[in-house]
């Protein structure tokens, strides 16, 4: 009897562990193997039952894998692909996850130019429902962006879509360059502004006293969700798009400054009007995010169907009749 297809997850942080938990609870006939540079992190993931087993040795973890998922910071992916170059089988699927897709695809082109089964992805975890912690339903109904290079095997992109559906997410094919332009506004810029505020406050003469008064607003705005090294790598990789959004925000900030200096009746004050508009739009977006309702889309396949498609792909089956993920519409 053939062994169950093996999925190896490299990187056992919130994303990697949550993927493992979702796959373990999906009922799919898969073997889930995990690897992390920190042995204690792998041990903790195993205690959570997010994996069937962990491997401290990178090569042993990847040996025999039908799919390798790279859930590691952008700055570590290049070196990881170097390690895979001599070991990876042509049929092995590689799915690399990050918030910047274009540079990630370029890494594949540079490091694994002949490998046709490489796909990149970006799971959108908005955190509206609270702090992001490892859990099996973290990706439930979440948008999961997927992109591929010009030489990628179409079956690999379809398999990636099946994979994220099995984890409970909604696959969305995107153009990597368009994605990175949007991500610069809604992902990179908020992190950059939070870092800038922290830098300004900590460098001010009154910080010794001000930090005692810094409450929830300051904490939420400046809360980092990744290391300085990881954020640096993503900002630099997406530099042109981030600079464009930063220039746009500078002009926006000038408008808000002008509104604040305006003298007019309170019920007509431009600042109050702007704040009311923001409050309404934020409430509307939050409602959609909580419900995961972004507009018409195809009905997700059932868990059983997803498992079947994963099994067929890993065993060399065909993809006939499978629906295609929703495609991002250009504005």
Residue indicated by tokens 């099995």: 166
CB 72 within 8 A of CB 46: no
Query: Residue 96 has what pLDDT?
Result: 98
Lowest mean pLDDT among 187-196, 262-271, 298-307: 298-307
Burial (0-12, 13-18, 19+ Cβ within 10 Å), 96: buried
Compute the half-sphere exposure of residue 260: CA atoms within 13 Å on the CB side of its CA. Answer: 6
Domains and CATH numbers, the chain: 6-174+296-327 (3.40.50.720), 178-261 (1.10.3660.10)
Query: Residue 292 has what pLDDT?
Result: 86
CA end-to-end span of the chain: 50
Q: Give the chain's radius of gyration (CA, Å).
A: 22
Give the length of the chain. Answer: 331
Compute the half-sphere exposure of residue 150: CA atoms within 13 Å on the CB side of its CA. Answer: 2
The mean pLDDT value for 37-63 works out to: 94
What is the Cα–Cα distance from 290 to 126, expressed in whole angstroms?
A: 9
Q: CA of 302: how far to CAs of 2, 142, 143, 305, 325, in Å?
A: 24, 16, 17, 5, 14
pLDDT grade, residue 326 (50/70/90)? low
Helix (H) or strand (E) holding 144, with range, is strand 143-148
CB 120 within 8 A of CB 96: yes
CB 84 within 8 A of CB 115: no
Asked if pLDDT for residue 104 goes beyond 80, the answer is yes
What is the Cα–Cα distance from 43 to 54, expressed in whole angstroms?
A: 7
The mean pLDDT value for 164-190 works out to: 96
What is the Cα–Cα distance from 73 to 96, expressed in whole angstroms?
A: 10
Query: Residue 294 has what pLDDT?
Result: 83
Beta pairing, strands 118-123 & 143-148: antiparallel
CB 70 within 8 A of CB 77: yes
The mean pLDDT value for 35-51 works out to: 94
Q: Per the structure block, which two tokens stand in for 42?
A: 């792998």
pLDDT grade, residue 208 (50/70/90)? very high
Q: How wide is the angle at C-alpha 307 spanned by C-alphas 305 and 309, nearest 5°?
A: 70
SS3 of 190-250: the string is HHHHHHHHHHHHHCCCCHHHHHHHCCHHHHHHHCCCCCHHHHHHHHHHCHHHHHHHHHHHH
Asked if pLDDT for residue 62 goes beyond 90, the answer is yes
CB 162 within 8 A of CB 30: no
Strands of 53-54's sheet in order across: 53-54, 31-35, 6-10, 67-70, 93-97, 118-123, 143-148, 170-173, 326-327
- Per-residue pLDDT reduced to its tens digit, 239-251: 999 999 999 999 9
Asked if pLDDT for residue 311 goes beyond 90, the answer is no
The mean pLDDT value for 175-202 works out to: 97
Q: Which pTM does this prediction carry? A: 0.87
């Amino acid at each position: 009897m053939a062994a169950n297809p093996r999925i190896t997850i490299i990187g056992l942080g919130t994303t990697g562990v949550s993927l493992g938990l979702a796959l373990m609870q999906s009922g799919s006939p898969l073997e889930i193997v995990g690897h992390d540079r920190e042995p204690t992190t792998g041990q903790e993931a195993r205690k959570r039952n997010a994996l069937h087993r962990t491997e401290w040795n990178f090569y042993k973890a990847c040996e025999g894998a039908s799919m390798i998922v790279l859930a590691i910071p952008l700055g570590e992916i290049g070196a990881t692909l170097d390690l895979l170059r001599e070991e990876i089988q042509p049929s092995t699927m590689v799915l690399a996850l990050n918030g910047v897709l274009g540079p990630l695809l370029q890494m594949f082109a540079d490091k694994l130019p002949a490998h046709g089964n490489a796909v990149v992805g970006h799971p959108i975890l908005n955190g509206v429902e609270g702090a992001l912690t490892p859990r099996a339903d973290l990706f439930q109904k979440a948008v999961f962006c997927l992109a591929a290079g010009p030489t990628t095997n179409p079956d690999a992109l379809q398999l990636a879509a099946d994979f994220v559906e099995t984890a409970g997410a909604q696959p969305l094919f995107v153009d990597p360059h368009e994605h990175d332009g949007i991500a610069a506004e809604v992902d990179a810029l908020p992190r950059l502004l939070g870092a800038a505020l922290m830098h300004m406050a900590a460098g001010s003469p009154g910080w010794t006293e001000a930090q005692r008064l810094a409450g929830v607003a300051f904490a939420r705005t400046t809360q980092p969700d990744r290391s300085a090294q990881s954020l640096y790598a993503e900002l630099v990789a997406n530099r042109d798009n981030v600079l464009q959004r930063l220039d746009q925000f500078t002009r926006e900030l000038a408008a808000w400054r002008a509104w604040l200096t305006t003298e007019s009746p309170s019920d007509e004050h431009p600042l109050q009007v702007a704040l009311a508009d923001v409050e309404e739009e934020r409430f509307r977006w939050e409602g959609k995010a909580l419900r995961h309702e972004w507009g018409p889309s195809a009905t997700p396949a059932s868990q059983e169907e997803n498992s079947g498609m994963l099994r067929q792909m890993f065993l060399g089956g065909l993809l006939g009749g499978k629906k295609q993920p929703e495609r991002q519409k250009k504005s």
